[in-house]
Amino acid sequence: MTTTKGTQQIVVLGAGYTGMLAAIRVAGRTRRHGGHVTLVNPSSRFTERLRMHQIATGQSLGDFQIPDVLDGTGADFVQGWATAIDPDAREVTVTTSDGTRVLPYDRLVYALGGKADRAMVPGADEHAHTLDDPAAAARLASRLAEIARTGGTVAVCGAGLTGVEAVTEIAESFPSVRTVLISRDVPGAMMGERARAYLNRALERLHVEVRSGVEITKVLPDAVELSGGEMVHSDATLWTTGVRAAPLAARSGVTTDDHDRIVVDATLRSVSHPSIYAVGDAAAVRQAYGVMHGTCQSGLPTAVHAADAIGGELRGRRPGAFRFGYLHQPVSLGRKDAVIQFTRADDTPRRWHLTGRRAIAYKEFVSSSPMTTYRLSKLFPLPSRALWSRGGRGNPAPRV
């Protein structure tokens, strides 16, 4: 459905890392070929999702306003919540401060991302904090400040990369607080032996208590219950394990998987509604080694591919297949330490890793503010390989 004769309406839902890059790049790829881009997001501020653990410990991040980031691209910004998608009529309903708007689209880029899956165990939704957005991280920061004044315990559930980064940041920032890391797997389970050993030494140095190999069965207001009935006291519980995508696509009749991610074909188009591209954590992307797990490393290449594919479609070209291989597992261990595990394409560990100051510099580079990438993307379309250092090893973008 097109609102203006000859104009192709492209709507991007979500202005996180992937949505923002997709909007900027598709605007550049299509504006000479009849494309018009509208980016929809509830907040006007760009959120650096990778740094939520820093907000949770009281640190301040840069204030980047989405309209300023989009300036010069020709894309419009609509601040509001996408509440419904009609994939047959190709319309999105958006609730704004001024009421409800219906945005027609010819192509939709679905980049709403995911949140911590607190439905996994009883009580997590009611009693556990998350790092899903700045408001949630700020609430945890307020609670941590209270605990630091009086003394107490913080339990972090999940020893994946998010859990490790969060617990080390908390332990370093609040040394008077007892920190407990609780997980079914050992911390750094995906890493090689030497990198994992370094990570564990950092946890010991920061006096983080590790409870691995256990099942969490319930989250209570002041404790985490383990299988067998054992209680781990907690004055604040942070839930970092499991990810579930936004439920909007599933509610709208788009084919999704068990985690509410849109099931896509090899080109990142919805298998049920090819006018919808899904990127980042919102997409169930299958590669030769299995379904990709959501990271910024894998998300940015999906945004580039979707944008370039749409640009090609507007010129009558068929989208090419998306291919991606992982490059690294970068983990900060507070502000003063880090470990980087380099990986094969399937995310299994290689022999090489970095630690200490070299790892800090590397981690800061790959997870620094993406504003430089966005600014360069507005000036000229970067080849997909230019994103390798801040992502993974993707295939060359379709030529448009």
Mean pLDDT of all residues in 89-104: 97
> What residues form DSSP beta bridges with 40?
13, 78
Question: Following CA atoms 259, 121, 81, 72 in sequence, which dihedral angle do they give, to the nearest 10 degrees?
Answer: -70
Mean pLDDT of all residues in 294-317: 93
pLDDT of residue 370: 83
* DSSP conformation letters of 82-144: EEEEETTTTEEEEEETTEEEEEE-SEEEE---EEE-TTSSTTHHHHEE--SSHHHHHHHHHHH
Digit-coded pLDDT (tens) for 283-298 = 999 999 999 987 889 9
- Residue 301, token pair as written in the block: 């290449």
Digit-coded pLDDT (tens) for 163-172 = 999 999 999 9
| Other CB atoms within 10 A of residue 65 CB | 13
Residue 149 to residue 152: CA distance in whole angstroms: 9
Q: What are phi and psi of 168, to 5 degrees?
A: -70, -35
Q: Is the pLDDT of residue 393 over 70?
A: no
Question: Following CA atoms 258, 259, 262, 266 in sequence, which dihedral angle do they give, to the nearest 10 degrees?
Answer: -80
Nearest residue to 191 via CA among 48, 360, 326, 336:
326
Residue 228 to residue 209: CA distance in whole angstroms: 19
Distance (Å) of CA 180 to CA 7, 9, 183, 238: 55, 49, 10, 10
pLDDT of residue 2: 42
Residue 20 to residue 71: CA distance in whole angstroms: 12
Residue 182 to residue 267: CA distance in whole angstroms: 38
Q: Domains of the chain by range and CATH?
A: 8-115+243-322+370-394 (3.50.50.60), 118-239 (3.50.50.60)
pLDDT of residue 382: 59
The proportion of the chain whose per-residue pLDDT surpasses 70, expressed as a percent, equals: 93
Q: Is the pLDDT of residue 20 over 60?
A: yes
Residue 13 to residue 29: CA distance in whole angstroms: 18
Mean pLDDT of all residues in 240-257: 96
Residue for token pair 């559930």: 157
Residue 99 to residue 89: CA distance in whole angstroms: 21
Question: Following CA atoms 390, 296, 324, 398 in sequence, which dihedral angle do they give, to the nearest 10 degrees?
Answer: -80
Q: Check residue 5 and report its DSSP letter.
A: T
CA angle 66, 72, 76 (to 5 degrees): 55
Digit-coded pLDDT (tens) for 343-356 = 999 999 999 999 99
Residue for token pair 């944008």: 307
Secondary structure class of 63 (helix, strand, coil): coil
Mean pLDDT of all residues in 207-234: 97
Q: Is the pLDDT of residue 307 over 50?
A: yes
pTM over 0.85: yes
Q: Is the pLDDT of residue 8 over 80?
A: yes
CA angle 166, 358, 363 (to 5 degrees): 40
pLDDT of residue 384: 55
- Residue 246, token pair as written in the block: 């936004």
Nearest residue to 199 via CA among 167, 177, 176, 234:
167
pLDDT of residue 276: 98
pLDDT of residue 61: 86
Q: What are phi and psi of 359, to 5 degrees?
A: -70, -35
> Does 147 or 368 have the greater pLDDT score?
147
Residue 384 to residue 382: CA distance in whole angstroms: 6
